[in-house]
Protein backbone atom coordinates (compact mmCIF):
# COMPACT_ATOMS: atom_id res chain seq x y z
CA UNK A 1 0.00 0.00 0.00
CA UNK A 2 1.55 3.28 -1.12
CA UNK A 3 0.65 6.96 -0.83
CA UNK A 4 1.59 9.92 -2.97
CA UNK A 5 4.31 11.84 -1.17
CA UNK A 6 2.68 15.14 -2.13
CA UNK A 7 -0.40 14.22 -0.04
CA UNK A 8 1.51 13.69 3.20
CA UNK A 9 1.03 16.42 5.80
CA UNK A 10 3.95 17.25 8.08
CA UNK A 11 2.74 19.06 11.17
CA UNK A 12 4.59 20.11 14.32
CA UNK A 13 7.21 17.48 15.01
CA UNK A 14 9.32 16.50 17.99
CA UNK A 15 12.23 15.80 15.68
CA UNK A 16 14.07 19.09 15.12
CA UNK A 17 17.23 17.66 13.61
CA UNK A 18 17.27 15.34 10.59
CA UNK A 19 20.61 13.53 10.44
CA UNK A 20 22.32 11.25 7.91
CA UNK A 21 19.64 11.58 5.21
CA UNK A 22 22.16 10.92 2.43
CA UNK A 23 23.37 7.64 3.94
CA UNK A 24 19.79 6.54 4.64
CA UNK A 25 18.79 7.32 1.05
CA UNK A 26 21.70 5.25 -0.24
CA UNK A 27 20.71 2.33 2.01
CA UNK A 28 17.10 2.50 0.79
CA UNK A 29 18.28 2.64 -2.82
CA UNK A 30 20.28 -0.55 -2.33
CA UNK A 31 18.00 -2.52 -0.01
CA UNK A 32 14.58 -0.96 -0.46
CA UNK A 33 12.38 0.58 2.25
CA UNK A 34 12.14 -2.07 4.98
CA UNK A 35 9.78 -0.18 7.33
CA UNK A 36 6.91 1.89 5.85
CA UNK A 37 6.19 5.35 7.18
CA UNK A 38 3.21 5.80 9.52
CA UNK A 39 0.40 8.30 8.93
CA UNK A 40 -3.05 9.07 10.30
CA UNK A 41 -6.25 8.53 8.33
CA UNK A 42 -6.01 12.09 7.00
CA UNK A 43 -2.38 11.44 5.94
CA UNK A 44 -0.70 13.35 8.79
CA UNK A 45 2.81 11.98 9.27
CA UNK A 46 3.31 10.21 12.60
CA UNK A 47 6.61 8.41 12.10
CA UNK A 48 9.23 8.12 9.38
CA UNK A 49 10.25 11.71 8.66
CA UNK A 50 13.82 10.71 7.82
CA UNK A 51 12.60 7.89 5.57
CA UNK A 52 10.26 10.35 3.85
CA UNK A 53 13.08 12.84 3.24
CA UNK A 54 15.30 10.05 1.93
CA UNK A 55 12.54 8.98 -0.47
CA UNK A 56 12.23 12.56 -1.73
CA UNK A 57 15.97 12.67 -2.28
CA UNK A 58 15.69 9.49 -4.35
CA UNK A 59 12.99 11.11 -6.48
CA UNK A 60 10.15 8.85 -5.34
CA UNK A 61 6.61 10.02 -6.06
CA UNK A 62 4.96 7.47 -3.75
CA UNK A 63 6.03 5.65 -0.58
CA UNK A 64 4.76 2.59 1.37
CA UNK A 65 2.76 3.49 4.48
CA UNK A 66 0.68 2.19 7.38
CA UNK A 67 -2.13 3.98 9.21
CA UNK A 68 -2.20 4.62 12.98
CA UNK A 69 -4.20 7.02 15.13
CA UNK A 70 -1.89 7.37 18.13
CA UNK A 71 0.07 10.65 17.90
CA UNK A 72 2.67 9.52 20.42
CA UNK A 73 3.96 6.79 18.10
CA UNK A 74 6.76 9.13 16.99
CA UNK A 75 8.28 8.99 20.46
CA UNK A 76 8.81 5.22 20.60
CA UNK A 77 9.49 5.01 16.86
CA UNK A 78 12.49 7.32 17.00
CA UNK A 79 13.81 6.08 20.33
CA UNK A 80 14.77 2.86 18.55
CA UNK A 81 16.58 4.73 15.78
CA UNK A 82 18.35 8.09 16.03
CA UNK A 83 18.16 9.22 19.65
CA UNK A 84 16.37 12.48 20.44
CA UNK A 85 18.54 15.45 21.29
CA UNK A 86 17.95 17.64 24.34
CA UNK A 87 15.86 20.17 22.41
CA UNK A 88 13.51 17.45 21.17
CA UNK A 89 13.25 15.69 24.53
CA UNK A 90 12.09 18.89 26.22
CA UNK A 91 9.43 19.29 23.50
CA UNK A 92 8.23 15.74 24.24
CA UNK A 93 8.28 16.52 27.96
CA UNK A 94 6.04 19.58 27.53
CA UNK A 95 3.56 17.65 25.41
CA UNK A 96 3.41 14.73 27.83
CA UNK A 97 3.07 17.13 30.75
CA UNK A 98 -0.10 18.57 29.21
CA UNK A 99 -1.52 15.07 28.86
CA UNK A 100 -0.48 13.97 32.36
CA UNK A 101 -1.81 17.20 33.92
CA UNK A 102 -5.38 16.53 32.78
CA UNK A 103 -5.87 14.02 35.59
CA UNK A 104 -4.22 16.38 38.05
CA UNK A 105 -6.63 19.20 37.14
CA UNK A 106 -9.65 16.91 37.48
CA UNK A 107 -8.43 15.80 40.88
CA UNK A 108 -7.98 19.41 42.01
CA UNK A 109 -11.46 20.32 40.81
CA UNK A 110 -12.89 17.56 42.99
CA UNK A 111 -11.27 19.03 46.11
CA UNK A 112 -12.16 22.73 45.69
CA UNK A 113 -14.87 22.46 48.36
CA UNK A 114 -12.52 21.05 51.05
CA UNK A 115 -11.09 23.09 53.93
CA UNK A 116 -7.65 24.63 53.23
CA UNK A 117 -5.08 26.55 55.23
CA UNK A 118 -3.66 29.97 54.28
CA UNK A 119 -1.25 28.31 51.81
CA UNK A 120 -4.07 26.62 49.96
CA UNK A 121 -3.19 23.16 51.29
CA UNK A 122 -5.83 20.71 52.57
CA UNK A 123 -6.20 20.82 56.34
CA UNK A 124 -5.54 17.56 58.20
CA UNK A 125 -9.04 17.84 59.69
CA UNK A 126 -10.63 17.52 56.24
CA UNK A 127 -12.52 14.27 55.86
CA UNK A 128 -10.99 13.78 52.43
CA UNK A 129 -7.41 14.66 53.39
CA UNK A 130 -6.25 11.08 53.66
CA UNK A 131 -7.66 10.34 50.22
CA UNK A 132 -6.33 13.28 48.19
CA UNK A 133 -3.14 15.35 48.46
CA UNK A 134 -3.43 18.21 45.99
CA UNK A 135 0.27 18.95 45.41
CA UNK A 136 1.33 15.35 44.82
CA UNK A 137 -0.32 14.85 41.42
CA UNK A 138 1.59 17.87 40.05
CA UNK A 139 4.91 16.33 40.99
CA UNK A 140 3.78 12.94 39.74
CA UNK A 141 2.69 14.40 36.41
CA UNK A 142 6.09 16.00 35.97
CA UNK A 143 7.83 12.79 36.92
CA UNK A 144 5.85 10.72 34.41
CA UNK A 145 6.32 13.30 31.65
CA UNK A 146 10.05 13.46 32.28
CA UNK A 147 10.32 9.66 32.26
CA UNK A 148 8.57 9.51 28.88
CA UNK A 149 10.94 12.12 27.47
CA UNK A 150 13.99 10.37 28.87
CA UNK A 151 15.23 13.32 30.94
CA UNK A 152 14.93 14.51 34.52
CA UNK A 153 12.46 17.23 35.51
CA UNK A 154 15.22 19.74 36.51
CA UNK A 155 16.96 19.18 33.18
CA UNK A 156 13.70 19.74 31.31
CA UNK A 157 13.21 23.03 33.12
CA UNK A 158 16.75 24.16 32.29
CA UNK A 159 16.23 23.33 28.61
CA UNK A 160 12.95 25.25 28.65
CA UNK A 161 14.68 28.31 30.11
CA UNK A 162 17.38 28.14 27.43
CA UNK A 163 14.74 27.88 24.70
CA UNK A 164 12.93 30.92 26.07
CA UNK A 165 16.13 32.93 26.54
CA UNK A 166 16.40 33.91 22.88
CA UNK A 167 20.12 33.03 22.69
CA UNK A 168 20.07 31.31 19.32
CA UNK A 169 23.56 29.83 19.61
CA UNK A 170 22.70 28.12 22.91
CA UNK A 171 19.40 26.87 21.47
CA UNK A 172 21.23 25.39 18.48
CA UNK A 173 23.65 23.61 20.79
CA UNK A 174 20.68 21.81 22.40
CA UNK A 175 20.07 20.19 19.01
CA UNK A 176 23.54 18.63 18.97
CA UNK A 177 24.51 15.30 20.45
CA UNK A 178 25.54 15.55 24.11
CA UNK A 179 25.01 19.32 24.42
CA UNK A 180 25.93 19.43 28.15
CA UNK A 181 22.73 21.14 29.29
CA UNK A 182 24.17 22.27 32.62
CA UNK A 183 27.00 24.10 30.86
CA UNK A 184 24.63 25.82 28.42
CA UNK A 185 22.31 26.78 31.29
CA UNK A 186 25.19 28.32 33.26
CA UNK A 187 26.23 30.27 30.17
CA UNK A 188 22.65 31.53 29.82
CA UNK A 189 22.66 32.67 33.46
CA UNK A 190 26.03 34.40 32.95
CA UNK A 191 24.75 36.29 29.91
CA UNK A 192 21.57 37.37 31.63
CA UNK A 193 23.59 38.64 34.58
CA UNK A 194 25.88 40.56 32.22
CA UNK A 195 22.86 42.10 30.48
CA UNK A 196 21.38 43.08 33.83
CA UNK A 197 24.65 44.68 34.89
CA UNK A 198 24.81 46.55 31.59
CA UNK A 199 21.28 47.87 32.11
CA UNK A 200 22.28 49.03 35.57
CA UNK A 201 25.34 50.74 34.14
CA UNK A 202 23.11 52.40 31.56
CA UNK A 203 20.84 53.71 34.31
CA UNK A 204 23.92 54.92 36.15
CA UNK A 205 24.96 56.88 33.08
CA UNK A 206 21.70 58.79 33.28
CA UNK A 207 22.75 59.88 36.77
CA UNK A 208 26.22 60.93 35.67
CA UNK A 209 27.48 64.44 36.15
CA UNK A 210 29.57 66.58 33.84
CA UNK A 211 33.19 66.91 34.92
CA UNK A 212 33.92 70.63 35.38
CA UNK A 213 37.37 71.70 34.28
CA UNK A 214 39.84 72.12 31.45
CA UNK A 215 39.95 68.98 29.28
CA UNK A 216 43.74 69.25 29.19
CA UNK A 217 43.74 68.51 32.92
CA UNK A 218 40.58 66.55 33.77
CA UNK A 219 40.90 64.56 30.55
CA UNK A 220 43.32 62.33 32.44
CA UNK A 221 40.22 60.64 33.85
CA UNK A 222 39.73 58.92 30.48
CA UNK A 223 41.74 55.72 30.15
CA UNK A 224 44.18 55.24 27.30
CA UNK A 225 42.75 53.63 24.13
CA UNK A 226 39.26 53.41 25.67
CA UNK A 227 37.16 55.72 23.47
CA UNK A 228 35.38 54.68 20.28
CA UNK A 229 34.51 58.21 19.24
CA UNK A 230 35.24 61.82 20.18
CA UNK A 231 32.38 64.03 19.04
CA UNK A 232 32.90 67.67 19.91
CA UNK A 233 32.53 71.33 18.97
CA UNK A 234 35.53 73.44 20.03
CA UNK A 235 35.42 77.25 19.83
CA UNK A 236 36.37 78.65 16.42
CA UNK A 237 38.04 82.02 17.01
CA UNK A 238 41.79 82.69 16.63
CA UNK A 239 42.49 82.86 20.36
CA UNK A 240 41.41 79.23 20.75
CA UNK A 241 43.54 77.78 17.94
CA UNK A 242 46.11 76.28 20.40
CA UNK A 243 43.33 74.07 21.81
CA UNK A 244 43.16 72.10 18.56
CA UNK A 245 46.58 70.51 18.94
CA UNK A 246 45.77 69.75 22.58
CA UNK A 247 42.57 68.11 21.38
CA UNK A 248 44.62 66.06 18.89
CA UNK A 249 46.95 64.93 21.71
CA UNK A 250 43.96 63.83 23.79
CA UNK A 251 42.50 61.96 20.83
CA UNK A 252 45.77 60.18 20.10
CA UNK A 253 45.89 58.95 23.70
CA UNK A 254 42.27 57.97 24.41
CA UNK A 255 41.00 56.77 21.03
CA UNK A 256 41.05 53.07 20.28
CA UNK A 257 43.24 52.04 17.33
CA UNK A 258 40.23 52.26 14.99
CA UNK A 259 38.44 55.07 16.81
CA UNK A 260 37.57 58.44 15.29
CA UNK A 261 37.49 62.14 16.15
CA UNK A 262 34.68 64.25 14.68
CA UNK A 263 34.87 67.97 15.38
CA UNK A 264 32.85 70.89 14.15
CA UNK A 265 34.99 73.73 12.83
CA UNK A 266 34.58 77.13 11.30
CA UNK A 267 36.04 77.87 7.87
CA UNK A 268 38.06 81.02 8.61
CA UNK A 269 40.96 79.22 10.29
CA UNK A 270 40.37 75.81 8.78
CA UNK A 271 43.95 75.41 7.42
CA UNK A 272 45.42 76.13 10.86
CA UNK A 273 42.96 73.77 12.53
CA UNK A 274 43.81 70.95 10.15
CA UNK A 275 47.56 71.47 10.57
CA UNK A 276 47.12 71.19 14.34
CA UNK A 277 45.18 67.95 14.00
CA UNK A 278 47.64 66.60 11.41
CA UNK A 279 50.41 66.83 13.99
CA UNK A 280 49.03 63.86 15.94
CA UNK A 281 46.27 62.30 13.87
CA UNK A 282 45.50 61.26 10.32
CA UNK A 283 42.94 63.03 8.13
CA UNK A 284 40.01 60.76 7.24
CA UNK A 285 37.28 62.90 5.68
CA UNK A 286 35.38 66.16 5.88
CA UNK A 287 31.62 66.07 6.20
CA UNK A 288 29.35 69.10 5.99
CA UNK A 289 26.47 70.19 8.19
CA UNK A 290 24.03 72.16 6.04
CA UNK A 291 22.63 75.06 8.07
CA UNK A 292 18.97 74.67 7.17
CA UNK A 293 15.95 76.60 8.38
CA UNK A 294 17.74 79.62 9.82
CA UNK A 295 18.79 81.66 6.84
CA UNK A 296 22.40 82.45 5.97
CA UNK A 297 25.18 83.00 8.47
CA UNK A 298 26.94 86.24 7.56
CA UNK A 299 30.74 86.02 7.64
CA UNK A 300 31.25 89.77 7.49
CA UNK A 301 35.04 89.93 7.24
CA UNK A 302 34.84 87.81 4.08
CA UNK A 303 31.43 88.96 2.78
CA UNK A 304 30.28 85.32 2.73
CA UNK A 305 26.74 84.09 3.28
CA UNK A 306 27.64 80.83 4.96
CA UNK A 307 25.30 77.82 4.61
CA UNK A 308 27.40 74.93 5.88
CA UNK A 309 29.85 73.99 8.58
CA UNK A 310 32.75 71.51 8.37
CA UNK A 311 32.71 68.29 10.37
CA UNK A 312 36.36 67.20 10.44
CA UNK A 313 36.96 63.46 10.70
CA UNK A 314 40.35 62.30 11.95
CA UNK A 315 41.65 58.89 13.00
CA UNK A 316 44.76 57.40 14.57
CA UNK A 317 47.77 57.34 12.28
CA UNK A 318 47.53 54.12 10.26
CA UNK A 319 44.08 53.54 11.74
CA UNK A 320 41.40 51.69 9.79
CA UNK A 321 37.87 52.39 11.07
CA UNK A 322 35.24 49.80 10.16
CA UNK A 323 31.72 51.12 9.67
CA UNK A 324 28.72 51.02 7.36
CA UNK A 325 28.14 53.67 4.68
CA UNK A 326 27.61 57.11 6.24
CA UNK A 327 26.51 60.45 4.82
CA UNK A 328 28.96 63.34 4.53
CA UNK A 329 26.19 65.92 4.13
CA UNK A 330 23.68 66.28 6.97
CA UNK A 331 21.01 68.87 7.67
CA UNK A 332 21.54 70.95 10.77
CA UNK A 333 18.61 72.72 12.40
CA UNK A 334 19.24 75.97 14.29
CA UNK A 335 19.17 75.23 18.02
CA UNK A 336 20.49 77.65 20.65
CA UNK A 337 18.16 76.90 23.54
CA UNK A 338 20.80 75.69 25.99
CA UNK A 339 24.04 77.31 24.78
CA UNK A 340 25.07 80.05 22.37
CA UNK A 341 27.21 77.53 20.42
CA UNK A 342 24.72 74.66 20.66
CA UNK A 343 24.52 72.19 17.76
CA UNK A 344 21.69 69.96 16.49
CA UNK A 345 21.32 66.82 18.60
CA UNK A 346 20.12 64.79 15.60
CA UNK A 347 23.45 65.31 13.81
CA UNK A 348 25.30 64.06 16.89
CA UNK A 349 22.94 61.09 17.17
CA UNK A 350 23.48 60.14 13.52
CA UNK A 351 27.27 59.92 13.76
CA UNK A 352 27.28 58.42 17.25
CA UNK A 353 24.83 55.73 16.17
CA UNK A 354 26.87 54.84 13.08
CA UNK A 355 30.44 55.24 14.33
CA UNK A 356 30.28 54.15 17.97
CA UNK A 357 29.27 50.53 18.72
CA UNK A 358 26.48 49.74 21.15
CA UNK A 359 27.56 50.46 24.73
CA UNK A 360 30.74 52.05 23.34
CA UNK A 361 32.37 55.15 24.82
CA UNK A 362 32.02 58.68 23.42
CA UNK A 363 34.26 61.47 24.73
CA UNK A 364 33.17 65.14 24.64
CA UNK A 365 35.88 67.62 25.79
CA UNK A 366 33.78 70.74 25.06
CA UNK A 367 30.40 69.77 26.50
CA UNK A 368 28.71 73.18 26.40
CA UNK A 369 24.97 72.70 26.86
CA UNK A 370 25.23 68.90 26.71
CA UNK A 371 24.11 68.10 23.16
CA UNK A 372 26.59 65.23 22.70
CA UNK A 373 25.69 63.76 26.09
CA UNK A 374 21.96 63.82 25.29
CA UNK A 375 22.70 62.18 21.93
CA UNK A 376 24.64 59.43 23.74
CA UNK A 377 21.73 58.85 26.10
CA UNK A 378 19.31 58.59 23.18
CA UNK A 379 21.58 56.04 21.48
CA UNK A 380 22.50 54.15 24.67
CA UNK A 381 26.23 54.89 24.47
CA UNK A 382 28.50 55.55 27.40
CA UNK A 383 30.00 58.99 27.64
CA UNK A 384 32.63 61.03 29.37
CA UNK A 385 32.19 64.79 29.10
CA UNK A 386 33.78 67.87 30.58
CA UNK A 387 33.03 71.59 30.46
CA UNK A 388 35.25 74.41 31.68
CA UNK A 389 32.33 76.76 32.37
CA UNK A 390 30.32 75.95 35.50
CA UNK A 391 27.14 77.62 34.23
CA UNK A 392 27.15 75.61 31.00
CA UNK A 393 27.88 72.43 32.98
CA UNK A 394 24.89 73.12 35.23
CA UNK A 395 22.65 73.51 32.17
CA UNK A 396 23.95 70.23 30.73
CA UNK A 397 23.32 68.40 34.01
CA UNK A 398 19.78 69.76 34.11
CA UNK A 399 19.20 68.38 30.59
CA UNK A 400 20.52 65.01 31.75
CA UNK A 401 18.11 64.94 34.70
CA UNK A 402 15.17 65.92 32.50
CA UNK A 403 16.05 63.24 29.95
CA UNK A 404 16.39 60.59 32.66
CA UNK A 405 13.08 61.58 34.22
CA UNK A 406 11.23 61.51 30.89
CA UNK A 407 12.86 58.21 29.96
CA UNK A 408 11.85 56.60 33.25
CA UNK A 409 8.27 57.84 32.89
CA UNK A 410 8.00 56.42 29.40
CA UNK A 411 9.68 53.16 30.42
d(CA 31, CA 29): 6
Helix (H, G, I), strand (E, B), or coil: what is residue 309? strand
Of 58-67, 70-79, 367-376, least confident by mean pLDDT is 70-79
Of 26-30, 41-45, 197-201, 324-328, least confident by mean pLDDT is 197-201
CA-closest candidate to residue 37, choices 24, 51, 25: 51
Start-to-end C-alpha separation, the chain: 62
pTM score: 0.52
d(CA 32, CA 34): 6
Strand partners, 230: 261, 363
**4-61 confidence digits (pLDDT tens):** 988 888 876 555 556 678 888 888 888 888 788 888 888 888 888 888 889 998 999 9
**216-242 confidence digits (pLDDT tens):** 999 999 999 999 999 999 999 999 999
Percent of the chain with pLDDT over 90: 41
Q: Using the predicted structure, report yes or no on whether residue 111 has a pLDDT greater than 50.
A: no
Spatial CB neighbours of 349, under 8 Å, sequence gap ≥ 6? 375, 378, 379
Q: Using the predicted structure, report yes or no on whether residue 135 has a pLDDT greater than 80.
A: no
Could you tell me the pLDDT band of residue 293, with boundaries at 50, 70 and 90? low
Interstrand relation of 37-39 and 45-47 (parallel, antiparallel or unpaired): antiparallel
d(CA 339, CA 337): 6
Residue 119: Cβ-neighbour burial (10 angstroms; 0-12, 13-18, 19+): exposed
d(CA 236, CA 254): 23
Contact 400, 392 (CB under 8 A): no
Which residue has better confidence, 359 or 254? 254
d(CA 100, CA 49): 26
What's residue 194's pLDDT?
Answer: 86
Which domains are delineated in the chain?
Answer: 2-79 (3.90.1530.10), 86-202 (no CATH), 209-410 (3.40.50.150)
Average pLDDT, the chain: 82
Half-sphere exposure of 306 (CA within 13 A, CB side): 17
**58-73 confidence digits (pLDDT tens):** 999 999 888 876 545 5
Percent of the chain with pLDDT over 70: 78
Amino acid sequence: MEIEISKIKIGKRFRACLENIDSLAEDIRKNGLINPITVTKDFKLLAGRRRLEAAKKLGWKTIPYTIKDKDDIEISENEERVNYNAYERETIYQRRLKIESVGTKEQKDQTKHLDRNEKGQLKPTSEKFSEVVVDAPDREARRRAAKTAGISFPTAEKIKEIKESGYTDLIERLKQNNPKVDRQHKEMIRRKAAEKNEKERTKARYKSTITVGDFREVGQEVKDASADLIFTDPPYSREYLPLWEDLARLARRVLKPNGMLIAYSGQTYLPEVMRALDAHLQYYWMAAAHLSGGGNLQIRHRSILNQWKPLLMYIQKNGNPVHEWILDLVKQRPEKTHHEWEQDVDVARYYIRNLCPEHGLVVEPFCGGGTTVIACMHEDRMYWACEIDQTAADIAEQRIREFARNNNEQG
